[in-house]
Amino acid sequence: LPAGAEPNPTFPALGIGMDSCVIPLRHGGLSLVQTTDFFYPLVEDPYMMGRIACANVLSDLYAMGITECDNMLMLLSVSQSMTEEEREKITPLMIKGFRDAAEEGGTAVTGGQTVVNPWIIVGGVATVVCQPNEFIMPDSAVVGDVLVLTKPLGTQVAVNAHQWLDNPERWNKINMVVSREEVELAYQEAMFNMATLNRTAAGLMHTFNAHAATDITGFGILGHSQNLAKQQRNEVSFVIHNLPIIAKMAAISKASGRFGLLQGTSAETSGGLLICLPREQAARFCSEIKSSKYGEGHQAWIVGIVEKGNRTARIIDKPRVIEVLPRGATATALVPDNSNAASEPGS
């Protein structure tokens, strides 16, 4: 806020700590909403990596219920250890993936920065100027609200397990609980989910009167739930009962002794939105997002509740794991019969 200015409830501001900054502008009751994100490659396909990077940047706007983006910049570093031929093949594909995802989100990349670096890095900046009714401040959860998640967990486990297919020492730790085919299917599912925009969920946040939301990325579902809980104006806490997880990834997490997937600390990339919805709206939200009118692949599950508390979040001792079947997998090939509830919102 300008020096000496009082906070204005009509034009809320949001600074460091949440998904996007919201800055009230000097002109006409508008706010600037902006976010940036970048990371290292985690899938083998450079085009898909570009799409995932763009989806990940836009997701921070979508977590505010914002569906439009006015402008994007792309940040790219090319590895100095790549040959000239590798650079000429890989770089245009990453840029094309990023641009295509931006176009799907109704925006465009108008600039950015490219450098040479020891590692490949890809990311960007998303900017939009909004009226107050276009975004949902992440601070209004009330006791009795329901927590809904719009993508399954387990992306990091899936991409790591895929890398371990070529590492006998690591593979031998998990090959008793998962087959090579199951890892391939999980990897494809994770890649598809990471590249899927959270734009549909952002639009439905308005339809179903969402009270707060965040996206699930590097700190895992527990870390981001705790961060969201701290932002709440009311004295509430979040309790998570259900964990929708890409099929077999929970078993890999246990067998490998890594990740902390069932504890909610496993990092996700370009994960789903975690949304606080009024109890009477949550099941309808989950049903609506699966409608064919929004295209293929959107999912949602009820994962927890909002109760009275001191702005914390926790996962119950024995959460229900919902095994989410990869597309292209048959139920019998992957998961016991009792887990075909994956497509239904848990309660």
Structure tokens at 54: 């763009």
Cβ-based burial of 314 (10 A; exposed 0-12, middle 13-18, buried ≥19): middle
Q: What pLDDT does 295 receive?
A: 87
Q: What is the pLDDT of residues 16-35, one digit of tens each?
A: 557 788 999 988 889 999 99
Residues in the chain: 347
Q: Which amino acid is at 236?
A: V
Phi, psi (rounded to 5 degrees) for 54: -70, -45
Report if pTM > 0.85. yes
Q: What pLDDT does 332 receive?
A: 44
Q: What is the pLDDT of residues 271-298, one digit of tens each?
A: 999 999 999 999 999 999 999 999 888 9
Give the whole-number percent of the chain exceeding pLDDT 70: 89
Q: What pLDDT does 338 receive?
A: 41
| Residue segments in the chain with a per-residue pLDDT below the cut of 70 | 1-17, 329-347
| Sign of the CA dihedral with 258 first, then 47, 56, and 182 last | negative
Q: What pLDDT does 336 receive?
A: 44
Q: What pLDDT does 3 receive?
A: 44
Residue 161 and residue 320: Cα distance in Å, rounded?
A: 23
CA angle 184, 221, 242 (to 5 degrees): 80
